[in-house]
Structure 1
Amino acid sequence: MLTRLKKDHQHIAILLQILADKHQRLMTGEVVNFNLIRDIIEYMQSYAEHSHHPLEDVIYKYHAQAYPDEVQTEALLQEHEKLNDSSAAIMSTLNLILADVPVQKEQLCDDLAAYFSLQGAHLRFEEKHVFPLWKKNMQQEDWDNIEAQCAAKLMIDPLFSDDDNQVFEELREYISKASD
Protein backbone atom coordinates (compact mmCIF):
# COMPACT_ATOMS: atom_id res chain seq x y z
CA MET A 1 0.00 0.00 0.00
CA LEU A 2 2.73 2.44 0.94
CA THR A 3 4.52 1.67 -2.33
CA ARG A 4 1.32 2.47 -4.21
CA LEU A 5 0.92 5.78 -2.37
CA LYS A 6 4.52 6.77 -3.07
CA LYS A 7 4.09 5.90 -6.76
CA ASP A 8 0.95 8.04 -6.83
CA HIS A 9 2.97 10.90 -5.37
CA GLN A 10 5.54 10.58 -8.15
CA HIS A 11 2.74 10.78 -10.71
CA ILE A 12 1.10 13.74 -8.99
CA ALA A 13 4.48 15.52 -8.92
CA ILE A 14 4.70 15.16 -12.71
CA LEU A 15 1.27 16.75 -13.10
CA LEU A 16 2.10 19.54 -10.65
CA GLN A 17 5.18 20.37 -12.71
CA ILE A 18 3.01 20.64 -15.82
CA LEU A 19 0.59 22.90 -13.95
CA ALA A 20 3.50 25.05 -12.74
CA ASP A 21 4.72 25.34 -16.33
CA LYS A 22 1.24 26.29 -17.58
CA HIS A 23 0.93 28.82 -14.76
CA GLN A 24 4.24 30.40 -15.74
CA ARG A 25 3.15 30.59 -19.37
CA LEU A 26 -0.13 32.21 -18.38
CA MET A 27 1.73 34.75 -16.28
CA THR A 28 3.89 35.73 -19.27
CA GLY A 29 0.88 36.00 -21.57
CA GLU A 30 1.54 32.88 -23.62
CA VAL A 31 -1.27 30.77 -24.99
CA VAL A 32 -1.93 27.56 -23.04
CA ASN A 33 -4.05 24.50 -23.67
CA PHE A 34 -6.90 24.90 -21.18
CA ASN A 35 -8.18 21.43 -22.03
CA LEU A 36 -4.89 19.97 -20.83
CA ILE A 37 -5.14 21.87 -17.54
CA ARG A 38 -8.73 20.70 -17.19
CA ASP A 39 -7.64 17.09 -17.81
CA ILE A 40 -5.05 17.34 -15.04
CA ILE A 41 -7.57 18.73 -12.58
CA GLU A 42 -10.18 16.20 -13.68
CA TYR A 43 -7.64 13.41 -13.11
CA MET A 44 -6.85 14.80 -9.67
CA GLN A 45 -10.55 14.94 -8.84
CA SER A 46 -11.41 11.51 -10.23
CA TYR A 47 -8.37 9.57 -9.04
CA ALA A 48 -6.52 11.43 -6.29
CA GLU A 49 -9.63 12.67 -4.52
CA HIS A 50 -11.67 9.47 -4.96
CA SER A 51 -9.05 6.76 -4.51
CA HIS A 52 -5.66 8.05 -3.34
CA HIS A 53 -6.81 10.41 -0.57
CA PRO A 54 -9.56 8.11 0.73
CA LEU A 55 -6.97 5.33 0.98
CA GLU A 56 -4.71 7.63 2.99
CA ASP A 57 -7.66 8.55 5.19
CA VAL A 58 -8.42 4.88 5.90
CA ILE A 59 -4.76 4.21 6.72
CA TYR A 60 -4.62 7.30 8.93
CA LYS A 61 -7.72 6.24 10.90
CA TYR A 62 -6.52 2.65 11.15
CA HIS A 63 -3.09 3.77 12.36
CA ALA A 64 -4.61 6.15 14.92
CA GLN A 65 -6.74 3.34 16.33
CA ALA A 66 -4.08 0.63 16.21
CA TYR A 67 -1.29 2.84 17.56
CA PRO A 68 -3.00 5.31 19.92
CA ASP A 69 0.22 6.20 21.74
CA GLU A 70 1.72 7.69 18.57
CA VAL A 71 1.30 11.39 18.00
CA GLN A 72 -1.30 11.81 15.26
CA THR A 73 -2.07 14.94 13.35
CA GLU A 74 -5.44 15.91 11.97
CA ALA A 75 -3.64 17.95 9.32
CA LEU A 76 -3.78 15.08 6.83
CA LEU A 77 -7.57 14.93 6.78
CA GLN A 78 -7.89 18.71 6.77
CA GLU A 79 -5.47 19.08 3.87
CA HIS A 80 -7.45 16.58 1.81
CA GLU A 81 -10.54 18.76 2.25
CA LYS A 82 -8.61 21.91 1.30
CA LEU A 83 -7.28 20.20 -1.83
CA ASN A 84 -10.81 19.18 -2.83
CA ASP A 85 -11.96 22.78 -2.46
CA SER A 86 -8.96 24.12 -4.37
CA SER A 87 -9.40 21.73 -7.31
CA ALA A 88 -13.13 22.59 -7.43
CA ALA A 89 -12.26 26.30 -7.66
CA ILE A 90 -9.90 25.68 -10.58
CA MET A 91 -12.41 23.47 -12.35
CA SER A 92 -15.10 26.11 -11.96
CA THR A 93 -12.85 28.77 -13.49
CA LEU A 94 -11.74 26.43 -16.29
CA ASN A 95 -15.33 25.52 -17.14
CA LEU A 96 -16.13 29.21 -17.53
CA ILE A 97 -13.10 29.76 -19.75
CA LEU A 98 -13.88 26.71 -21.89
CA ALA A 99 -17.48 27.93 -22.25
CA ASP A 100 -16.09 31.23 -23.60
CA VAL A 101 -17.27 33.17 -20.57
CA PRO A 102 -14.93 36.11 -19.93
CA VAL A 103 -12.73 35.42 -16.93
CA GLN A 104 -9.82 37.43 -15.61
CA LYS A 105 -6.55 35.65 -16.37
CA GLU A 106 -5.45 36.49 -12.84
CA GLN A 107 -8.26 34.36 -11.40
CA LEU A 108 -6.99 31.19 -13.06
CA CYS A 109 -3.39 32.12 -12.25
CA ASP A 110 -4.29 32.61 -8.58
CA ASP A 111 -6.28 29.36 -8.48
CA LEU A 112 -3.46 27.40 -10.12
CA ALA A 113 -0.76 28.88 -7.89
CA ALA A 114 -2.78 28.12 -4.77
CA TYR A 115 -3.44 24.57 -5.93
CA PHE A 116 0.04 23.48 -6.88
CA SER A 117 1.49 25.20 -3.83
CA LEU A 118 -0.98 23.47 -1.50
CA GLN A 119 -0.63 20.13 -3.26
CA GLY A 120 3.19 20.30 -3.23
CA ALA A 121 3.28 21.15 0.48
CA HIS A 122 0.83 18.32 1.12
CA LEU A 123 3.02 15.76 -0.68
CA ARG A 124 6.10 16.92 1.24
CA PHE A 125 4.21 16.73 4.56
CA GLU A 126 3.06 13.18 3.90
CA GLU A 127 6.46 11.99 2.72
CA LYS A 128 8.34 13.61 5.59
CA HIS A 129 5.96 12.97 8.49
CA VAL A 130 3.12 10.59 7.69
CA PHE A 131 4.62 7.85 5.53
CA PRO A 132 7.68 7.28 7.76
CA LEU A 133 5.39 6.95 10.80
CA TRP A 134 3.24 4.38 9.04
CA LYS A 135 6.29 2.49 7.79
CA LYS A 136 7.82 2.40 11.27
CA ASN A 137 4.72 1.15 13.06
CA MET A 138 2.65 -0.91 10.69
CA GLN A 139 3.20 -4.61 10.24
CA GLN A 140 2.20 -6.77 7.28
CA GLU A 141 -0.96 -7.80 9.13
CA ASP A 142 -1.94 -4.14 9.43
CA TRP A 143 -1.43 -3.57 5.71
CA ASP A 144 -3.43 -6.72 4.90
CA ASN A 145 -6.30 -5.46 7.06
CA ILE A 146 -6.21 -2.08 5.36
CA GLU A 147 -6.13 -3.64 1.92
CA ALA A 148 -9.17 -5.75 2.78
CA GLN A 149 -11.01 -2.62 4.00
CA CYS A 150 -10.15 -0.70 0.84
CA ALA A 151 -10.46 -3.37 -1.82
CA ALA A 152 -13.79 -2.09 -3.13
CA LYS A 153 -12.65 1.54 -3.14
CA LEU A 154 -9.29 1.10 -4.85
CA MET A 155 -9.29 1.92 -8.52
CA ILE A 156 -6.73 1.48 -11.23
CA ASP A 157 -4.95 4.72 -12.02
CA PRO A 158 -6.69 5.93 -15.20
CA LEU A 159 -3.64 7.86 -16.42
CA PHE A 160 -0.50 6.07 -15.26
CA SER A 161 -1.53 2.45 -15.80
CA ASP A 162 -0.87 0.10 -18.69
CA ASP A 163 -4.49 -0.78 -19.35
CA ASP A 164 -6.29 0.20 -22.54
CA ASN A 165 -8.25 2.97 -20.86
CA GLN A 166 -8.74 5.85 -23.30
CA VAL A 167 -9.54 8.37 -20.58
CA PHE A 168 -6.98 11.19 -20.41
CA GLU A 169 -5.46 10.10 -23.74
CA GLU A 170 -4.42 13.67 -24.67
CA LEU A 171 -2.78 14.14 -21.27
CA ARG A 172 -1.04 10.76 -21.49
CA GLU A 173 0.32 11.70 -24.91
CA TYR A 174 1.48 15.11 -23.63
CA ILE A 175 3.35 13.52 -20.72
CA SER A 176 4.90 10.93 -23.03
CA LYS A 177 6.19 13.62 -25.42
CA ALA A 178 7.43 15.80 -22.55
CA SER A 179 9.52 12.99 -21.11
CA ASP A 180 11.21 12.17 -24.44
Structure 2
Amino acid sequence: MFKVQEIREIIKLVDASSIDEFVYEADGAKVKLKKKNGVTEVVAPKKVEEAPVAQVAAPTPTAVASIPAPAPKVETPAPVENAADLHKITSPMVGTFYQSPNPEAAPYVKVGDKVGDESIVCIVEAMKLFNEIEAEIKGEIVEILVQDGQLVEYGQPLFLVKAE
Protein backbone atom coordinates (compact mmCIF):
# COMPACT_ATOMS: atom_id res chain seq x y z
CA MET A 1 0.00 0.00 0.00
CA PHE A 2 1.23 3.51 -0.77
CA LYS A 3 1.93 6.10 1.88
CA VAL A 4 0.07 9.41 1.62
CA GLN A 5 3.36 11.30 1.30
CA GLU A 6 4.39 9.09 -1.65
CA ILE A 7 1.07 9.79 -3.38
CA ARG A 8 1.43 13.53 -2.74
CA GLU A 9 4.89 13.54 -4.32
CA ILE A 10 3.62 11.65 -7.38
CA ILE A 11 0.73 14.12 -7.72
CA LYS A 12 3.12 17.05 -7.47
CA LEU A 13 5.40 15.61 -10.16
CA VAL A 14 2.55 14.77 -12.54
CA ASP A 15 0.93 18.17 -11.99
CA ALA A 16 4.19 19.94 -12.84
CA SER A 17 4.81 17.78 -15.92
CA SER A 18 3.27 17.84 -19.38
CA ILE A 19 1.96 14.25 -19.23
CA ASP A 20 -1.82 13.76 -19.24
CA GLU A 21 -2.10 10.33 -17.62
CA PHE A 22 0.01 8.33 -15.16
CA VAL A 23 -0.58 4.81 -13.76
CA TYR A 24 1.58 3.07 -11.14
CA GLU A 25 1.02 -0.39 -9.66
CA ALA A 26 3.02 -1.99 -6.86
CA ASP A 27 2.30 -4.75 -4.34
CA GLY A 28 -1.35 -5.09 -5.33
CA ALA A 29 -2.04 -1.33 -5.04
CA LYS A 30 -2.65 1.04 -7.94
CA VAL A 31 -2.49 4.82 -8.33
CA LYS A 32 -3.92 6.38 -11.48
CA LEU A 33 -3.67 10.12 -12.24
CA LYS A 34 -5.30 11.90 -15.16
CA LYS A 35 -5.27 15.54 -16.20
CA LYS A 36 -8.31 17.09 -17.85
CA ASN A 37 -7.99 20.69 -19.06
CA GLY A 38 -4.97 21.18 -16.82
CA VAL A 39 -6.75 19.85 -13.71
CA THR A 40 -5.29 16.76 -12.06
CA GLU A 41 -7.68 13.97 -11.08
CA VAL A 42 -6.56 11.45 -8.49
CA VAL A 43 -7.72 7.88 -8.20
CA ALA A 44 -7.26 6.77 -4.61
CA PRO A 45 -4.96 3.78 -4.04
CA LYS A 46 -6.88 0.55 -3.55
CA LYS A 47 -6.10 -3.12 -3.81
CA VAL A 48 -6.35 -4.21 -7.43
CA GLU A 49 -8.95 -6.85 -6.53
CA GLU A 50 -11.29 -4.31 -4.88
CA ALA A 51 -14.18 -2.35 -6.38
CA PRO A 52 -13.48 0.60 -8.72
CA VAL A 53 -11.90 3.60 -7.06
CA ALA A 54 -13.38 7.08 -6.73
CA GLN A 55 -11.91 10.08 -8.52
CA VAL A 56 -11.24 13.40 -6.77
CA ALA A 57 -10.80 16.43 -9.01
CA ALA A 58 -8.36 19.13 -7.95
CA PRO A 59 -10.04 22.51 -7.44
CA THR A 60 -7.76 24.59 -9.67
CA PRO A 61 -5.03 23.93 -12.22
CA THR A 62 -2.40 25.27 -9.81
CA ALA A 63 -3.60 23.37 -6.76
CA VAL A 64 -2.78 19.73 -6.15
CA ALA A 65 -5.29 17.22 -4.77
CA SER A 66 -4.26 14.63 -2.21
CA ILE A 67 -5.87 11.84 -0.28
CA PRO A 68 -7.38 13.47 2.83
CA ALA A 69 -7.22 11.94 6.28
CA PRO A 70 -10.51 12.03 8.19
CA ALA A 71 -10.85 15.35 10.00
CA PRO A 72 -11.57 15.18 13.73
CA LYS A 73 -15.01 16.31 14.80
CA VAL A 74 -14.99 19.89 16.09
CA GLU A 75 -17.72 20.87 18.47
CA THR A 76 -18.73 24.43 17.79
CA PRO A 77 -21.27 26.53 19.63
CA ALA A 78 -24.50 27.23 17.82
CA PRO A 79 -24.12 30.51 15.93
CA VAL A 80 -26.13 33.46 17.19
CA GLU A 81 -26.95 34.47 13.61
CA ASN A 82 -29.21 32.59 11.23
CA ALA A 83 -26.79 30.35 9.28
CA ALA A 84 -28.66 31.06 6.03
CA ASP A 85 -27.70 34.75 6.31
CA LEU A 86 -24.00 33.96 6.75
CA HIS A 87 -21.32 33.56 4.08
CA LYS A 88 -19.07 30.51 4.38
CA ILE A 89 -15.37 30.88 3.63
CA THR A 90 -14.40 27.42 2.40
CA SER A 91 -11.10 25.66 1.86
CA PRO A 92 -10.03 25.73 -1.81
CA MET A 93 -7.89 22.61 -1.31
CA VAL A 94 -7.04 19.69 0.91
CA GLY A 95 -4.43 20.60 3.50
CA THR A 96 -3.69 21.74 7.04
CA PHE A 97 -5.45 24.82 8.44
CA TYR A 98 -3.34 27.44 10.24
CA GLN A 99 -4.77 30.56 11.90
CA SER A 100 -1.48 32.48 11.89
CA PRO A 101 1.57 32.86 9.64
CA ASN A 102 3.81 31.18 12.27
CA PRO A 103 3.40 29.67 15.75
CA GLU A 104 4.57 32.84 17.53
CA ALA A 105 2.32 35.23 15.57
CA ALA A 106 -1.21 36.31 16.41
CA PRO A 107 -4.06 34.76 14.39
CA TYR A 108 -5.03 36.50 11.16
CA VAL A 109 -8.61 36.92 12.42
CA LYS A 110 -10.69 36.27 15.52
CA VAL A 111 -14.44 36.11 16.08
CA GLY A 112 -15.78 39.66 15.84
CA ASP A 113 -13.03 40.94 13.52
CA LYS A 114 -14.04 42.92 10.42
CA VAL A 115 -12.64 41.65 7.12
CA GLY A 116 -12.47 43.06 3.60
CA ASP A 117 -12.54 41.35 0.21
CA GLU A 118 -8.79 40.77 0.18
CA SER A 119 -8.22 40.23 3.91
CA ILE A 120 -6.16 37.12 4.63
CA VAL A 121 -8.06 34.96 7.11
CA CYS A 122 -5.83 31.86 7.34
CA ILE A 123 -3.29 29.62 5.62
CA VAL A 124 -3.94 26.17 4.19
CA GLU A 125 -0.71 24.20 3.80
CA ALA A 126 -0.56 21.51 1.15
CA MET A 127 2.67 19.67 0.35
CA LYS A 128 4.87 22.30 2.04
CA LEU A 129 3.17 25.11 0.07
CA PHE A 130 1.51 27.69 2.30
CA ASN A 131 -1.56 29.14 0.58
CA GLU A 132 -3.02 32.35 2.00
CA ILE A 133 -6.82 32.26 1.99
CA GLU A 134 -8.68 35.55 1.45
CA ALA A 135 -12.13 36.40 2.81
CA GLU A 136 -13.48 37.40 -0.64
CA ILE A 137 -16.31 39.26 1.12
CA LYS A 138 -16.68 42.30 3.37
CA GLY A 139 -18.10 41.50 6.77
CA GLU A 140 -17.55 40.31 10.31
CA ILE A 141 -16.17 36.93 11.38
CA VAL A 142 -19.00 35.26 13.31
CA GLU A 143 -17.51 31.80 13.82
CA ILE A 144 -14.30 29.86 13.19
CA LEU A 145 -15.33 26.32 12.27
CA VAL A 146 -11.96 24.51 12.46
CA GLN A 147 -9.07 24.30 14.89
CA ASP A 148 -5.50 25.39 14.26
CA GLY A 149 -3.50 22.51 12.77
CA GLN A 150 -6.59 20.57 11.70
CA LEU A 151 -6.68 18.76 8.35
CA VAL A 152 -9.32 20.26 6.05
CA GLU A 153 -10.89 19.00 2.85
CA TYR A 154 -11.67 20.75 -0.41
CA GLY A 155 -14.86 22.81 0.02
CA GLN A 156 -14.95 22.42 3.81
CA PRO A 157 -16.30 25.56 5.54
CA LEU A 158 -13.62 27.32 7.61
CA PHE A 159 -15.34 30.54 8.73
CA LEU A 160 -18.82 32.03 8.91
CA VAL A 161 -18.97 35.72 7.97
CA LYS A 162 -21.87 38.14 8.41
CA ALA A 163 -21.77 40.14 5.18
CA GLU A 164 -21.94 43.94 5.31
> Normalising by the residue count of structure 2, what TM-score does the alignment of the two structures yield?
0.24
Greater strand share, 1 or 2? 2
TM-score (norm 1): 0.22
Point out which structure has higher relative CO (alpha carbons under 8 A, 6+ apart).
1
